[in-house]
Chain A
Amino acid sequence: MSLKIDDNTKVIVQGITGKEGGFHALRCIEYGTNIVAGVTPGRGGQMFNDTIKVYDSMKEATHETGANTSLIFVPAPFAPDAILESIYSGIKTVICITEGIPVNEMIKIYKIANDLGVTLIGPNCPGLINPAQKCKIGIMPGDIFMPGRIGVVSRSGTLTYEAVDQLTKSGIGQSLCVGIGGDPIVGTTFINVLDYFIQDEETDGIVFIGEIGGTKEQEAAEYLKSINNTKPIAALIVGASAPEGKRMGHAGAVISGDSGKAESKMFALKEAGCEIVIHPGQIAETLKKII
């Protein structure tokens, strides 16, 4: 699992001829991302933005361009196939923005990506961005980011932007920001990203943003404890004001008991040495106290 972005990062946009894919591909290019090709089955031979060649298949596109990363905007019913096509074309990092992929499809895809050693980020995520490398593989507004030494990991899109905006306005830049996605099954978990940040020499501190439901935050806390982490982490959990049972399935709470609640997540992260952000408006302030 590598989240490293460098000069060799070459990106193919799957679904580049669609409205969303096209819009965000342009924003990525403007930001500085090296987008080398687009793929839309049936549209091979077209040019996107007069500069990017569109291919019919991932196999063809990777073969022609040597790309190692793909960014997916394909509509949900066809996105599972797009992810698989990407994986089997030899791509090593797949970022899937698409929202609304059936969970049963993601269970299969997760297993395949995992078995083949492919880093899958998302689905239903904003992607990732490395401001120093001027590389954005996702849908975040590039102008709020600033190069620096803080890693940001979050389950949410706009809340990531909120956190980054606070950091940048406080003069704190970011090394890498990763939105892991809001679905029950996602390719890259908090643990994977934390592991990367903790080993990354470019990252001095971490902003961790979780939310109610599931147990991913507690698993992250267990991981931090197990490695005796010493990098400072400011952690925000949102959803303390959300009523029980409205978002979470009834039986989802069976195994975990009260663990889906914000307070038990905060408790676990605090136990693991994180500084808890008590108000969503104080993400940067909280981090400042510990770095």
Chain B
Amino acid sequence: MKIHEYQSKKLLNEFGVPVPKSTIATDKETLLENFRDFQSKAVLKVQVHAGGRGKAGGVKLVDNSQDAVEFADKFFGNLFQTFQTGDESVVVNKILVEEASIIVSEMYLALLVDGSNQSINIIASPEGGTDIEEVASKNPEKIFSLPVNTILGPTDFHVREILDFLNLDKTLFSQLNKIIRGLYKLYIDKDCSLIEINPLILNDNNEIIALDAKITFDEDALFRNKDISELRDLSQENEVEIKTAELGIKYVQLKGSVGCIVNGAGLAMATMDVIQSAGLSPANFLDIGGGADEDKVSKAMSAVLSDGNVKIVLVNLFGGILRCDVAARGFILALKDSDGTPPKLIIRMQGTNSEEGKRILSNTKYNISFAENLDQISQILSSEE
């Protein structure tokens, strides 16, 4: 689960990690008021769930009220795009007003889980304030990755190693120590899946400060972090994805014309690959999950049908506990409820009561092709191209 920068910074502050002074504005009047509180010199930052805000013009150092008004008018309530959002866009409801910092050096610091060493890793780089993936590919030696022992947590000698790697003066040990231990405690206490500080800066007062902050959380742990769940901002998420998630359906909207409904994440990805290899594009990823009944199946179909780009719906249910006759009834329910022209259906169902499922679907007016296996799905799709 993603949260905004201003929420991340509030958490950092609670865990003893220094951040610049700031206030959050939800309208132009508050923004101007806050701006004047900073003696009319501040950094304005749009709050959206996407990286690349700076490059897209959503971060600006402003030193007069007129520019502040202009910034507020340009962004409040409007849609915003960055290279990370792609063709989609997210709405700007909040703007952070933050005191301007004088930067001596910019660094990178992150915590995340690395499956290859089954640990939380601290990632550090002296090359901050830039796209870290670029640093990783061009200068991998500038990235330091340190697996943390889960029983010990970070230790003093770890901090000294990082201090050294970041080219920071030894006198800054206690500052960095407090930051790293604070970040690690936050990561553990709140079940984060990523904390990324880019940049972490050294300012003209010899203070280490988190100038930006991105935190994401392990959704599987939200049940024990109610305070974190409350930070969720639904305005930044895809509506269909929100609705399906509530039903335990994993749905991700994509851009193609072939919708798909599959049981299991791996088979869902394989099905998308089959669509692509037939020269078409998947309209979504959808894993219907376990324990699907007629209602859940019907809602999955409705979600796929709600996407206006969908011309074909491919159903690939295999070997699950799901009864195929129940699924068939669910599909028909959703098709009946849908307004537009019904799409072409390609159905592969194998498992409990699959013959009955096929019979139910055959007795409808819909344009349905049945497939026995993935190769047959490919052939039918190729003929549709």
Contact = CB atoms under 8 A, between A and B. Distances in A.
Interface in A180-212: 182, 184-186, 209, 211-212
A165 B319 contact: yes
B113 A241 contact: no
B7 interface: no
Chain A interface category by residue count: 35 or more
Chain B interface category by residue count: 35 or more
Given A212-B269, A280-B274, A158 B115 contact: no
B133 A254 contact: yes
B221 A104 contact: yes
B111 to A, nearest CB: 9
A282 B373 CA distance: 10
Contacts of A258: 137
A100 B113 contact: no
B230 to A, nearest CB: 18
A281 B269 contact: no
Given A257-B136, A279-B274, A156 B150 contact: no
B40 interface: no
B266 A251 contact: no
Contacts of B119: 107
Contact of A245 (B84, B140, B220): B84
Nearest to A218: B116
B137 A156 contact: no
Nearest to A281: B374
B320 A158 contact: yes
Nearest to B198: A251
Interface in B33-80: 51
B132 A254 contact: yes
A255 B133 CA distance: 8
Nearest to A246: B252
Nearest to A76: B220
Interface in A231-258: 236, 238-243, 245-247, 249-255, 257-258
Interface of B: 51, 84, 110, 112-116, 118-121, 123, 132-133, 136-137, 140, 143, 145, 150-151, 187-188, 191, 193-194, 196, 214, 216, 218, 220-221, 223-224, 252, 254, 262-267, 269-277, 281-282, 285, 290-291, 318-321, 350-351, 373-375, 377-378
Given A184-B115, A185-B115, A241-B269, 13 more contacts: A23-B321, A140-B319, A156-B269, A158-B320, A161-B267, A165-B318, A211-B269, A215-B116, A249-B112, A251-B110, A251-B132, A280-B374, A281-B274
Interface of A: 20, 23, 76-77, 100-105, 107-108, 110-111, 139-141, 144, 154-162, 165-166, 182, 184-186, 209, 211-212, 214-216, 219, 236, 238-243, 245-247, 249-255, 257-258, 279-282
17 contacts: A77-B223, A102-B221, A103-B113, A104-B187, A156-B264, A156-B265, A159-B264, A165-B318, A165-B319, A184-B115, A209-B266, A214-B115, A249-B112, A251-B194, A253-B133, A254-B110, A279-B378
